[in-house]
């Protein structure tokens, strides 16, 4: 999650909006040898209306509640952020979340995928804006350019349930809202792959105060203004999440070197005590067609079930030499 931008006034001679990374990692495999990451290796659907899930852990300082609307990320008057993180990693995959963003000026709801070497793919919602959501990405915490975000339109994200999807392979990242594609990023378009997120990731869901008094001027400006915590609580709801790991033949992932390239990732299989790595140029993963679907899955809290399809495959992207064998399965989200 990127939580700072410099003020427009400070960047008048450069860019109109600059994002500064503020992420951290317990061990960065680009700098040292780190423990392997436990692989999800399958597809799961978590229904938060049934309560806490063993697939997630709460971040420090986070206390969660659960109800008929699922997981409740409640920011109270103390302004403490609320975040839960998957225990396992995916190495390319598809993640779909049924979510209602928090309202409130300066309140930021987020759905983030992040790796140990600080590759990152984001959805972020501004509580004071009822017409859009922000998409963004970062490669290896690289903030040398600041023109990566987009702001696709979405109707009343604080009051209406929508399904937000990230479909991530070695060839592309596709962001979709209610099965309609709103952005596609190809590997070559991310600084010839240098800024393309491509290492095993966990999923983070959270709600935080971008308009807090102790945030920088730029962060407050980006968040839409100062937050009035006397108006709390501000609550983000997540009803359910489906996570598909496109790599299903391993139990953990480790970095074979310090390049941060997907071709260096080793897939460890404990059952056979053998390691398998993808070859450079191989298309890893299977994602949706770039043709936008005309089917909408948005609903309110009284809606019945709605299906989120997962494609069984797609042809190679330019520059990729091989297709990954047989990955794809259907998953449903229930609203």
Write the DSSP symbol of residue 55: T
Q: Which of 142, 138, 148 is nearest to 1 (CA)?
A: 138
CA 113 → CA 11, 80, 161, 198, distances in Å? 28, 21, 21, 11
Tell me the C-alpha distance between 304 and 197, whole Å. 35
Contact 197, 185 (CB under 8 A): no
**Annotated catalytic residue, options 72, 120, 134, 215:** 120
Contact 277, 264 (CB under 8 A): yes
**Annotated catalytic residue, options 50, 72, 114, 124:** 124
Residue 120 is among the residues annotated as catalytic for this protein: yes
Phi, psi angles (nearest 5°) of residue 137: -155, 155
Pairing of strands 201-209, 162-168: unpaired
Tell me the C-alpha distance between 138 and 146, whole Å. 10
Q: Is 204 helix (H, G, I), strand (E, B) or coil?
A: strand
Contact 201, 115 (CB under 8 A): yes
Q: Which residue has the tokens 């190679």?
A: 316
Element housing 184 (H / E): strand 180-186
CB atoms within 10 A of CB 70: 24
Residue 55 is among the residues annotated as catalytic for this protein: no
Tell me the C-alpha distance between 138 and 120, whole Å. 5
Residues with catalytic roles: 120, 124
């Amino acid at each position: 999650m990127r939580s700072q931008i410099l003020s427009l006034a400070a960047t008048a001679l450069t860019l109109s909006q600059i994002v500064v990374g503020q992420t951290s990692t317990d061990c960065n495999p680009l700098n040292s040898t780190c423990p392997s990451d436990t692989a999800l290796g399958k597809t799961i659907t978590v229904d938060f209306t049934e309560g806490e899930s063993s697939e997630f852990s709460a971040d420090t300082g986070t206390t969660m509640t659960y109800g008929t609307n699922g997981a409740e990320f409640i920011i109270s008057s103390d302004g403490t952020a609320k975040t839960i993180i998957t225990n396992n990693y995916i190495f390319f995959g598809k993640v779909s979340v049924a979510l209602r963003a928090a309202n409130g000026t300066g309140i930021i709801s987020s759905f983030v995928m992040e790796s140990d070497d600080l590759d990152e793919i984001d959805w972020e919602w501004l509580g004071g804006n009822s017409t859009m959501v922000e998409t963004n990405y970062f490669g290896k915490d690289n903030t040398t350019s600041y023109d990566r975000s987009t702001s696709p339109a979405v109707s009343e994200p604080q009051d209406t349930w929508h399904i937000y999807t990230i479909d991530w392979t070695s060839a592309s990242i596709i962001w979709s809202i209610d099965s309609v594609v709103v952005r596609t990023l190809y590997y070559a378009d991310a600084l010839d792959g240098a800024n393309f997120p491509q290492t095993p990731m966990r999923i983070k869901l959270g709600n935080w105060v971008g308009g807090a008094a102790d945030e920088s001027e730029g962060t407050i400006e980006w968040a839409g203004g100062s937050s009035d915590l006397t108006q709390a609580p501000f609550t983000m709801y997540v009803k359910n999440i489906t996570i598909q790991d496109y790599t299903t033949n391993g139990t953990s992932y480790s970095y074979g070197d310090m390049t941060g390239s997907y071709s260096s990732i080793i897939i460890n299989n404990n059952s056979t005590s053998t390691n398998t790595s993808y070859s450079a140029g191989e298309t890893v993963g299977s994602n949706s067609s770039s043709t936008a679907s005309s089917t909408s899955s948005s609903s309110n809290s009284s809606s019945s079930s709605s299906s989120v399809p997962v494609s069984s495959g797609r042809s190679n992207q330019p520059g990729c030499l091989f297709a990954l064998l047989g990955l794809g399965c259907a998953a449903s989200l229930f609203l």
